[in-house]
Homo-oligomer: A and B are copies of this chain.
């Protein structure tokens, strides 16, 4: 039935492995850049696609070092890793126009990451068109849009993006979005880059409205960060942990142990649904300093994207241009 999570790294953890500890149809590579851990998960065929619940393609995960949000040097390191990975996953030629799309709802702090990132992108397309002499030749034309969400505009995000793409015909789209994680320790600490597009507003989403090369005819790179855990997911996972812990503590083979072991996923899910009030579906779990963290993340990601799109400039030159 597939695994519902935004993150390939989580899908991988939840998947059945074969006897070699591998997932059929999935290639995994892990490496470090300083204290930043990078995973590269490639889903290479339909078996991998079905097992992981994610489209064939590449998913790169960057794990932020501790305190990255509080340290400008560390933030810059992460931006550089993001820049490198973006350059590897895209094939950008100098003349190509890029469009950066900031998905999400600017009125809900943890969902505002996309709009915040695009507000810090170096926008140049209009200058290249209107005053080409005033701007260095090596600078790539870049434009941005924050299309809002269905509840704000009454228009599917894909319709907005597609309408604009057909007018301005960019060569590459980079979508930035806030994701949901299943694990609290991943929130705000993981950047996922993928080349299979993105479905606004859902873990799995419907294919019809996904923002991808398939629907837009232009390569789409998705950059996402988990910024919340659903309260229901958190309750769910807590219960799993408790049952496992109780089983650990019970003597193996006892009635209690067997009972605990016999509680299957479906029964637990049913129990949770009976216990938790329906309003919990509307709750989210975030860190208390969520405003500060989203601000810091939007700087890290916009710097990474700006550097990837403007190889002729260094970060200082970009920042000077932006202010």
Contact = CB atoms under 8 A, between A and B. Distances in A.
Interface of A: 69-73, 107-109, 119, 123-127, 141-146, 148, 150-156, 159-160, 162-168, 184-185, 231, 234-235, 238-239, 241-243, 245-246, 250, 254-256, 259, 271-272, 274-277, 279-280, 282-292, 296, 316, 319-320, 323
Contacts of A280: 184
A211 to B, nearest CB: 14
Q: Please state the number of chain copies in the assembly.
A: 4
B168 A159 contact: yes
Contact of A108 (B288, B319, B320): B288
A120 to B, nearest CB: 11
Contacts of A288: 108, 282-284
B167 A151 contact: no
Contact of A152 (B144, B255, B323): B144
B108 A291 contact: yes
A322 B141 CA distance: 35
Contact of A235 (B146, B168, B238, B282): B238
Contact of A123 (B154, B162, B279, B283): B154
A95 B152 CA distance: 21
Which interface residue of A119, A150, A286, A290 has the most chain B CB atoms within 10 A? A286
